[in-house]
Amino acid sequence: MRALVVGLLLLSTCCAVSAAERPNIVFIMADDIGYGDLSCYGAKHAKTPNLDRLASQGCRFLDAHSPASTCTPTRSALLTGRYAWRQEAGSRIAPGDAPLLIPPGTTTIASVLKQAGYATGVVGKWHLGLGGEKGPDWNGELKPGPLEIGFDYAFLMPATGDRVPCVYVEDHRVAGLDAADPIQVNYKMKVGNEPTGKDNPELLKLKHTHGHDFTIIKGVGRIGWMTGGKAARWTDEDMADTFAAKAVSFVERQSKADSSKPFFLYLATHGIHVPRVPHPRFKGTSPVGTRGDGIHELDDTVGQVLSALDRLKLVDNTLVIFTSDNGGVMDDGYEDVGKFDYHPNAPLRGTKGTLFEGGHRVPFIARWPGRIQPATTNNTLITHLDMTATFAALTGVTLSNDAAVDSFNVLPTLLGEKADSPPRPHFVAHTGGTQGPFAIRSGDWKFIQPGGGGRQADQSKKDPKAAQAGQLFHLADDVAEQDNLVTKHPEKVAELQKLMKRLREQGRSRL
Ligand code: NG6
Ligand code: CA
């Protein structure tokens, strides 16, 4: 009898340990949530009790970065562990009719975890293109797509809420499409007879500044035109709940299917990207209008997923990560936010679309009971790029040398272990494209190369010197990037420029 008990004890210790090394992974990527947008990161304009609970049960990272200050390049770099600026495809904000921007055969987070025996699913905002060279066949098979780069299951919106087509895609097909009402999508010329931005003087102003037309659907501008597919179209105000429900049912299915097979869920919310159309139950719940109400809705989505983990008793063996694809922005075209005075990226300078910290330093919360100390913070530099190498290390997969070439294994940092040297010595951020300007970070120093259009130019106007010589900041002393040291420390500028050149030329940053 005693032998049996000892044997059982041994067995349970051994399995507890091995199971703990292969936790389920839920990676939640919010859209356009800034460093100062959650109450656990100091926000006063919104209340995020579910995210605050996650933070109090886990670790809040204070120096975590999205690889770009816009969506597509961040998501490409997250999934592949490779800077999006290394190749054209996936390096800039993609239209909704782009072909798949990550070539099948590329090592991705999903392919690594699949190799490790995980069931892999993606739910939410994709924005990485669908289909072969000719782009998506909305009425046929949408292939290649996420299922060809490592995911077993996909339920997505193709791009953004303000880009057509306004339909969900499940695995290889548009969900709920009626063959008798085929979809047509065009980003160059009008198709169908739905109204465009030309009918609305406000949106005409936007065309003037942004150079493209809008289709107006339910009073919000969308980029591109579509016709058909009426029965398959999404309802903006139900989108967050739709994604939450799909995420929860993926988790439920996996927990029932085979409890020894861990799962990986990549949940990419559309909240709080524009158009922000939170469900009516959130209307007026924040003091700062639609944007704040949208943060409340996002927090509710996270709450729905956390409750499912509670209910299914999966909490202890699930690593949950929450982060954002780029910094926050107030003036995204046609919102009521102009009326409210708060900074979504406080205390950082800049916004989405800039190279200041507000463009790419983002919230990052990680919870794994028993492995990550609760209610902690961590100041180590980490990035979304690092997830591929980190999850590979976590699950015992060996990455080949030419896979995820910009991904550093930050697992010890994630688990709060002390290390002799930081896992990631440098980091490059961009706003999109392959030519820069880039922001180059090494240790506490950061250099922003001169130039750049859009929001970066708007921000740099205040500092004309920056337009010519670039901007150098010492982040440990000046996280708000107020004191441009570019003329004071030319040697640092030269060193960082040299580093940037090397990282580009050698085609990789992990040695
Ligand atoms: C911009 C859109 C903005 C947003 C962004 C992409 C206008 C006025 N603005 O062109 O609304 O869609 O593209 O955001 O057109 S991202 O987070 O997906 O990169
Ligand atoms: Ca975004």
- The answer to whether position 403 is within a domain reads yes
Ligand 1, residue 353: give the atom nearest the CA: 19
Tell me: do 267 and 120 sit in the same domain: yes
- The answer to whether position 489 is within a domain reads yes
Three-state SS for 97-157 is CCCCCCCCCCCCHHHHHHHCCCEEEEEEECCCCCCCCCCCCCCCCCCCCHHHCCCCEEEEE
Tell me: do 114 and 189 sit in the same domain: no
Residue 238 CA to ligand 2 centre (angstroms): 19
- Which residue, 227, 258, 291, sits at the end of a domain? 227
Residue 75 CA to ligand 1 centre (angstroms): 14
CB of 106 within 8 A of CB of 89?
no
CB of 78 within 8 A of CB of 389?
no
Residue 37 CA to ligand 1 centre (angstroms): 19
Residue 381 CA to ligand 2 centre (angstroms): 21
pLDDT averaged over the chain?
Answer: 91
Tell me: do 131 and 254 sit in the same domain: yes
Q: What is the pLDDT of residues 66-110, one digit of tens each?
A: 999 999 999 999 999 999 999 999 999 999 999 999 999 999 999
CB of 48 within 8 A of CB of 40?
yes
Domain of 469, in residue numbers: 426-506
Nearest CA to ligand 1 atom 13: 93
Residue 282 CA to ligand 1 centre (angstroms): 23
CB of 326 within 8 A of CB of 359?
yes
Tell me: do 283 and 409 sit in the same domain: yes
Q: Of the residues 71, 337, 384, which should be mutated to test ligand 1's pocket, given the most ligand atoms within 8 Å of the CB?
A: 71
CATH number at residue 85: 3.40.720.10
d(CA 484, CA 480): 11
Nearest CA to ligand 1 atom 3: 332
- Which residue, 163, 196, 227, sits at the end of a domain? 227
- Which residue, 383, 414, 445, sits at the end of a domain? 414
CATH number at residue 435: 3.30.1120.10
**Beta carbon of 332 within 6 Å of any ligand 1 atom:** yes
**Beta carbon of 206 within 6 Å of any ligand 1 atom:** yes
Tell me: do 96 and 192 sit in the same domain: no
**Beta carbon of 333 within 6 Å of any ligand 1 atom:** yes
- The answer to whether position 490 is within a domain reads yes
Place of tokens 């340990």: 17
Q: Which ligand is nearest to the CA of 213?
A: 1
Which tokens in the block code for residue 500?
């940037």
Nearest CA to ligand 1 atom 2: 332
Ligand 1, residue 206: give the atom nearest the CA: 8
Tell me: do 452 and 385 sit in the same domain: no
d(CA 362, CA 41): 10
**Beta carbon of 162 within 6 Å of any ligand 1 atom:** yes
Tell me: do 103 and 209 sit in the same domain: no
Q: What is the pLDDT of residues 344-394, one digit of tens each?
A: 999 999 999 999 999 999 999 999 999 999 999 999 999 999 999 999 999
Confidence of residue 19 (pLDDT cuts 50, 70, 90): very low
Q: Of the residues 33, 66, 70, which should be mutated to test ligand 1's pocket, given the most ligand atoms within 8 Å of the CB?
A: 70
Confidence of residue 200 (pLDDT cuts 50, 70, 90): low
- The answer to whether position 420 is within a domain reads no
Would you give the distance in Å from CA 257 to the centre of its chain? 28
In this structure, are strands 169-170 and 214-217 parallel, antiparallel, or unpaired?
unpaired
Residue 490 CA to ligand 1 centre (angstroms): 35
Three-state SS for 156-198 is EECCCCCECCCECEECCEECCCCCCCCCEEECCCCCCCCCEHH
- The answer to whether position 72 is within a domain reads yes
d(CA 273, CA 135): 24
pLDDT at residue 17, rounded to an integer: 33
Confidence of residue 11 (pLDDT cuts 50, 70, 90): very low
- The answer to whether position 179 is within a domain reads no
How many structural domains is the chain composed of?
A: 3
Residue 70 CA to ligand 1 centre (angstroms): 8
- The answer to whether position 4 is within a domain reads no
Ligand 1, residue 31: give the atom nearest the CA: 17
Residue 351 bridge partners (DSSP):
none
Ligand 1, residue 352: give the atom nearest the CA: 17
Phi, psi of 282 (to 5 degrees): -100, -5
Ligand 1, residue 273: give the atom nearest the CA: 17
**Beta carbon of 274 within 6 Å of any ligand 1 atom:** yes
Nearest CA to ligand 1 atom 17: 71
Exposed, middle or buried: residue 304 (CB in 10 Å: 0-12, 13-18, 19+)? Answer: middle
Tell me: do 460 and 396 sit in the same domain: no
Q: Which residues contact 287 (CB under 8 A, 6 or more apart)?
A: 45, 340
The model's pTM is 0.94
Residue 271 CA to ligand 2 centre (angstroms): 9
Residue 368 CA to ligand 1 centre (angstroms): 34
pLDDT at residue 199, rounded to an integer: 61
Residue 222 bridge partners (DSSP):
215
Residue 362 CA to ligand 2 centre (angstroms): 11
CB of 129 within 8 A of CB of 101?
yes
* Amino acid found at 233: R
**Residue 440, H or E segment:** strand 438-442
Tell me: do 286 and 328 sit in the same domain: yes
Pick 207 or 458 by higher pLDDT: 458
Residue 167 CA to ligand 2 centre (angstroms): 19
Ligand 1, residue 325: give the atom nearest the CA: 17
pLDDT at residue 20, rounded to an integer: 38
Tell me: do 160 and 194 sit in the same domain: no
- The answer to whether position 1 is within a domain reads no
Nearest CA to ligand 1 atom 15: 210
* Amino acid found at 389: A
pLDDT at residue 18, rounded to an integer: 41
Confidence of residue 198 (pLDDT cuts 50, 70, 90): low
Ligand 1, residue 332: give the atom nearest the CA: 11
Q: Of the residues 72, 200, 274, which should be mutated to test ligand 1's pocket, given the most ligand atoms within 8 Å of the CB?
A: 274
Ligand 1, residue 93: give the atom nearest the CA: 19
Confidence of residue 287 (pLDDT cuts 50, 70, 90): very high
The mean pLDDT value for 446-460 works out to 87
Tell me: do 148 and 125 sit in the same domain: yes
pLDDT at residue 214, rounded to an integer: 61
The mean pLDDT value for 149-156 works out to 98
Residue 262 CA to ligand 2 centre (angstroms): 29
Nearest CA to ligand 1 atom 18: 71
Tell me: do 205 and 189 sit in the same domain: yes
The mean pLDDT value for 207-214 works out to 56
